[in-house]
Amino acid sequence: MSDQKHKFKIFVNQDEHEIDTATISYERVVELYLGQGGATSKEYLVKYSHGPHENPSGTLTPGKEVKVKDGMRFRVSGAGES
């Protein structure tokens, strides 16, 4: 029996990331977007697509999380950007 967790390949603004959890939170997506360059904030708009059948696409809001699958895509933009 293997204790190795499944890793999911996701994309945040076209940058590839690998996570080992079946869900991801708004805060974690923003953290991946910012890298080491800043503090997370509730001032970002996070949209996702290519998700599992439970949540194929939508908007991720602060304090919430969604299930992930390989190839899922997240788009983070400032609240004032389009």
Neighbouring residues of 80: CB distance < 8 A, sequence distance ≥ 6: none
- pTM listed for this prediction: 0.85
Domain spans of the chain? Answer: 8-78
pLDDT score at 44: 92
3-state SS assignment for residue 77: strand
Query: Has residue 36 got a pLDDT over 80?
Result: no
Average model confidence (pLDDT) across the chain: 89
What digits encode the pLDDT tens for the residues 66-82?
Answer: 999 999 999 999 865 44
Tell me which of 3.90.550, 3.40.50, 3.30.1540, 3.10.20 is the CATH number of domain 8-78. 3.10.20
C-alpha span between 76 and 43 (Å, rounded): 10
Percent of the chain with pLDDT over 70: 82
